[in-house]
């Protein structure tokens, strides 16, 4: 319990009154203190609180939260946010209706709820804390993953500049003969049917299903670097969600392995396993340790031949050397794509017209970083991997496009 500012004002007035009438001032102060104690006694009972909040969110998504208080007297409610969970507005009188937005994935707990009750005479106030023990599970960007999967299902997804044509392509199971379009590969032309029909005709093959796709997720220190409000690991797990959703559409099996200095989690590929992959990976956090690529790659190398997406960060050759050294272990058996999200700040530094010497220095550093990364990418290609890079918004689409391209060309 604590007195309100009004009590301080009254006591200050009593002190001024003491210059003219000390007895009256003392009596006035005693009465004020007595009334304050009485006011405090009226609000000693803990109020009842009804709390409704989401338990599951997607990263970047907002949901409504409501708090109502059954209090006899005037009260205020405050629900503080955290660095990863934003509550707006975070306070209200009598009740609170707010939006909860999670900026990072994982498991989060809301801070204790505070209810401040003021006595009927406005002389005393009391703050009650309610530890609601409310866990908030924040998943990657699942709505975008579902949208990508729906686009692939309906043929609206563009694969490396071309519109996808559903589950047909350069597989090995013959499907039909149809008219040639610019989207078709020249290797699909059926010359005998073309001569008979008098116009270009192509063989249509159904892409094989039941192929394995494995997402290898680097959780080392490099994945903690921020890209906007997210980390590199946040954006990598958006890709995992999209790949897992698309593999279900394509009839393939999806699995995952997460690692930093040691193996963290692994899930063997399975049919219709997108939910399991998301549940197994959504609360991964970047560590402060160096990533042990060799140990992780040796585990995946023992699995059935698959399309493997390594989600990591590429800087320059000395930092990427452990990845380069371990890559042949993986590339001997699997079709490997190394994927990394590009840094918008680096791109801005390259594109900006320098105005000061600091701008010139920043541009030179950016050029050095890009040149060093290009050397690493060239070495990755020599060692049997393909490199995919895109900005934060286009990262899932770029990796899904690489998967669909490899699948249509029957590379795994």
> Residue 228 belongs to a domain with what CATH number?
3.40.50.410
Q: Tokens in use for 122?
A: 């406005």
Q: Are residues 342 and 402 part of one domain?
A: yes
Last residue of one domain, picked from the residues 139, 159, 185: 139
- DSSP 8-state secondary structure symbol assigned to residue 391: -
Last residue of one domain, picked from the residues 120, 139, 158: 139
Please state the domain count of the chain: 3
Q: Are residues 200 and 153 part of one domain?
A: no
Q: Are residues 342 and 233 part of one domain?
A: yes
Q: Are residues 158 and 274 part of one domain?
A: yes
Helix (H, G, I), strand (E, B) or coil at 140: coil
> Residue 62 belongs to a domain with what CATH number?
2.60.40.10
Q: Are residues 326 and 182 part of one domain?
A: no
Helix (H, G, I), strand (E, B) or coil at 66: strand
pLDDT recorded at residue 170: 45
Q: Are residues 274 and 125 part of one domain?
A: no
Nearest partner of 103 among 230, 271, 13, 253, judged by Cα: 230
Q: Are residues 162 and 219 part of one domain?
A: yes
- DSSP 8-state secondary structure symbol assigned to residue 187: G
pLDDT recorded at residue 357: 80
Q: Are residues 344 and 238 part of one domain?
A: yes
> Tokens 């699909």 label which residue?
188
Nearest partner of 243 among 343, 146, 312, 154, judged by Cα: 146
- Domain range spanning residue 45? 1-139
Q: Are residues 291 and 226 part of one domain?
A: yes
> Tokens 């559409």 label which residue?
249
pLDDT recorded at residue 14: 60
Please state, in angstroms and rounded to a whole number, the distance separating the CA atoms of residues 284 and 143.
19
Please state, in angstroms and rounded to a whole number, the distance separating the CA atoms of residues 204 and 208.
13
Nearest partner of 387 among 325, 311, 328, judged by Cα: 311
Q: Are residues 322 and 363 part of one domain?
A: yes
All residue ranges of the chain with pLDDT < 50 are 160-170
Q: Are residues 291 and 242 part of one domain?
A: yes
Q: Are residues 371 and 309 part of one domain?
A: yes
Please state, in angstroms and rounded to a whole number, the distance separating the CA atoms of residues 113 and 110.
8
SS (H, E, C) 241-295: HHHHHHHHHHCCEEEEEEECCCEEEEEEEEECCHHHHHHHHCCCCCCCCCCCHHH
Cβ–Cβ under 8 Å, residues 113 and 51? yes
Q: Tell me: the pLDDT tens digits for 356-384?
A: 887 777 777 777 778 888 899 999 999 99
């Amino acid at each position: 319990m604590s007195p309100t500012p009004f009590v301080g004002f009254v006591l200050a007035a009593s002190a001024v009154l003491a210059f003219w009438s000390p007895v009256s001032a003392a009596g006035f102060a005693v009465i004020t203190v007595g009334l304050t104690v009485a006011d405090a006694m009226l609000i000693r009972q803990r109020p009842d609180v009804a709390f409704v909040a989401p338990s599951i969110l997607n990263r970047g998504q907002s949901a409504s939260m409501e708090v109502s208080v059954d209090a006899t007297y005037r009260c205020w409610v405050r629900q503080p946010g955290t660095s990863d969970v934003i509550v707006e507005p975070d306070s209200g009188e009598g009740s609170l209706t707010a939006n909860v937005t999670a900026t990072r994935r994982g498991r989060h707990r809301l801070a204790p709820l505070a209810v401040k009750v003021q006595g009927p005479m406005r002389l005393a106030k009391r703050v009650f804390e309610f530890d609601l023990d409310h866990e908030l599970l924040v998943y990657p960007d699942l709505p975008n993953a579902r949208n990508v999967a729906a686009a692939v299902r309906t043929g609206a997804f563009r694969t490396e500049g071309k519109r996808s044509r559903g589950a047909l392509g350069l597989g090995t199971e013959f499907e039909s003969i149809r008219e040639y379009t610019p989207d078709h590969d020249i290797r699909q032309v059926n010359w005998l049917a073309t001569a008979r029909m008098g116009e270009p005709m192509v063989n249509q093959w159904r892409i094989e299903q039941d192929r394995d796709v494995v997402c290898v997720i680097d959780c080392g220190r490099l994945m903690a670097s921020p890209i906007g409000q997210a980390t590199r690991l946040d954006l990598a797990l958006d890709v995992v969600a999209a790949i897992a959703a698309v593999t279900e559409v394509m009839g393939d099996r999806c699995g995952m392995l997460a690692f930093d200095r040691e193996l963290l989690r692994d899930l063997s590929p399975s049919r219709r396993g997108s939910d399991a992959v998301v549940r197994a990976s959504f609360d991964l956090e970047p560590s402060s340790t160096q990533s042990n690529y060799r140990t992780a790659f040796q585990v995946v190398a023992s699995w059935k031949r698959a399309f493997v997406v390594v989600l990591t960060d590429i800087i320059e050759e000395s930092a990427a050397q452990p990845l380069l050294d371990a890559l042949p272990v993986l590339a001997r058996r699997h079709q490997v794509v190394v994927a990394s999200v590009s840094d918008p700040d680096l791109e801005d530094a390259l594109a900006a017209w320098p105005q000061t010497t600091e701008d010139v220095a920043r541009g030179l550093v950016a050029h050095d970083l890009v040149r060093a990364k290009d050397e690493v990418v060239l070495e990755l290609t020599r060692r049997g991997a393909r490199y995919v890079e895109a900005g934060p918004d286009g990262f899932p689409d770029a990796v899904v496009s690489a998967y669909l391209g490899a699948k249509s060309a029957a590379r795994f």
